[in-house]
């Protein structure tokens, strides 16, 4: 009995800790959220001095802070304001100042800023900072070329960066033919799909993979529709008036759904586009509201 009692008390106290911990953690989180407290972004001049000889480790933790800050908001489907994105950019620049050779901040911010809020110039700005410290990194050059080509419709710069990437050691074999075909296939859905699928293969981040997968799904829908329009034109020597005509004529079983929540439509040029403009309908309306 003398031994069982202390053991029982210990187990009881441990049980209390396990019971109260998640409750108290959730309460603290709630208060922090209500107060709107944001992570502090210390300038790298301060963190660099304070980190002593552990600057690499400080860069790792600061990047984790940036990933969690924006990742939590994405996971909770919270509204991400322009100020939030600006804070995120400042955090990434602070990480790069601490360890300019670190690949992840360029990779993560470059992709997220382009795919999320559409801050293409900021994405390119961060990716270009890598060129001073990782001049032989074909992957970074490819990403810069991709943002120019895909988002900014700047095919000349897109081709130039991907061609430079192709000349780097360890560049994948498909970069060179891709650069050569870039101008010719400007705006082509099949070509964009090829680019996106190659990037998805190299991507480990679940947040960024989600962006790619959704866009691939949308482009595959557009590809199906464009192929049906082409077959229609070849067989009937005429263009369909709308997408429903393709279904009525038996060229399609049904019109694919736009994963962004919009509706595909046929443009006068014969190309397919969508009312969502390939942006999540909720995000799209939020951006409009903020502007």
Partner 1 sequence: MWPVAAITFLEGIRSRVLYGIFIFACSVILLSFVFAHFFMQDIGKVAVDFNLAALSLAGLLMSLSISVDLIGKDLDKKTIYFVLSKPISRNAYILGKYSGILLISLMAYLIIALLTCFALMLLQSFHADYFKNFAWLPYMQAVFLDYIKISLFNALILFFGSFSTSSFLNMMFSLCIYIAGQSYSDVIRFLSVQHHGEQISPVVHYVIQTSKYIVPNFELFDMKILAAHGRLMAFSDLIPIMGYGFAYIALLVGLSMIIFRKKEFL
* The only residue of 34, 35, 53, 238 in contact with partner 1, by rule CB under 8 A: 53
Site string for partner 1, 205-224 (x = CB under 8 A): x--x----------------
Closest CA to 139 of 111, 171, 110, 115: 171
Q: Exactly one of 87, 95, 99, 276 binds partner 1 (CB under 8 A); which one?
A: 99
Q: Where are the alpha helices (DSSP H) in 37-99?
A: 44-50, 55-75, 82-98
Is 97 a residue that touches partner 1 (CB under 8 A)?
Answer: no
Q: Which tokens hold the place of 270?
A: 């014969």
**Does the protein bind partner 1 through residue 161 (CB under 8 A)?**
no
Could you tell me if 70 and 112 are in contact, meaning their C-beta atoms sit under 8 angstroms apart?
A: yes
- Residue 31 in contact with partner 1, rule: CB under 8 A: no
Contact between 57 and partner 1 by CB under 8 A: the answer reads yes
Residues across the chain: 291
Q: Max CA-CA distance within the chain?
A: 96
Among 69, 103, 151, 185, binds partner 1 (CB under 8 A): 103
Q: Which of 64, 187, 230, 239 binds partner 1 (CB under 8 A)?
A: 64
Site map (CB under 8 A) of partner 1, residues 71-90, x = contact: --------------------
Say if CB 141 and CB 164 are below 8 A apart: yes
CB 150 within 8 A of CB 192: yes
Q: How many CA atoms lie within 13 A of 235 on its CB side?
A: 11
- Nearest residue (CB) to partner 1, 98 versus 243: 98
Among the listed ranges 61-69, 155-163, 250-258, 278-286, the one in contact with partner 1 (CB under 8 A) is: 61-69
Q: What is the dihedral sign for C-alpha 200, 116, 133, 92? A: negative
Rounded least distance, CB 142 to partner 1, Å: 14
């Amino acid at each position: 009995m003398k031994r069982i009692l202390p053991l029982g008390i210990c187990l009881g106290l441990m049980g209390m800790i396990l019971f109260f911990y998640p409750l108290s953690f959730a309460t603290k989180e709630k208060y922090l959220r209500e107060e709107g407290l944001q992570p502090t972004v210390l300038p790298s001049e301060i963190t660099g001095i304070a980190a002593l000889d552990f600057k690499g480790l400080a860069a790792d933790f600061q990047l984790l802070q940036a990933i969690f800050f924006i990742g939590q908001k994405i996971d909770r489907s919270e509204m991400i304001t322009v100020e939030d994105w600006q804070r995120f950019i400042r955090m990434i620049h602070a990480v790069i100042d601490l360890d300019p050779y670190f690949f992840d901040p360029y990779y993560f911010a470059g992709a997220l800023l382009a795919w999320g809020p559409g801050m293409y110039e900021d994405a390119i700005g961060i990716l270009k900072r890598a060129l001073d410290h990782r001049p032989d990194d074909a992957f970074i050059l490819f990403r810069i070329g991709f943002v120019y080509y895909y988002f900014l419709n700047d095919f000349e710069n897109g081709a130039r960066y991907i061609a430079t990437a192709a000349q780097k050691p360890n560049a994948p074999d498909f970069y060179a033919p891709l650069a050569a075909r870039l101008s010719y296939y400007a705006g082509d859905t099949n070509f964009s799909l090829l680019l996106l699928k190659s990037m998805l293969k190299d991507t480990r981040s679940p947040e960024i993979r989600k962006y790619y997968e959704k866009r691939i799904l949308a482009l595959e829908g557009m590809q199906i529709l464009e192929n049906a329009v082409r077959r229609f034109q070849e067989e009937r020597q005429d263009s369909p008036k709308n997408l429903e005509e393709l279904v009525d004529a038996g060229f399609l079983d049904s019109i694919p759904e736009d994963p962004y929540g919009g509706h595909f439509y046929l443009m006068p040029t014969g190309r397919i586009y969508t009312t969502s403009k390939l942006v999540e309908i909720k995000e799209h309306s939020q951006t409009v509201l903020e502007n």
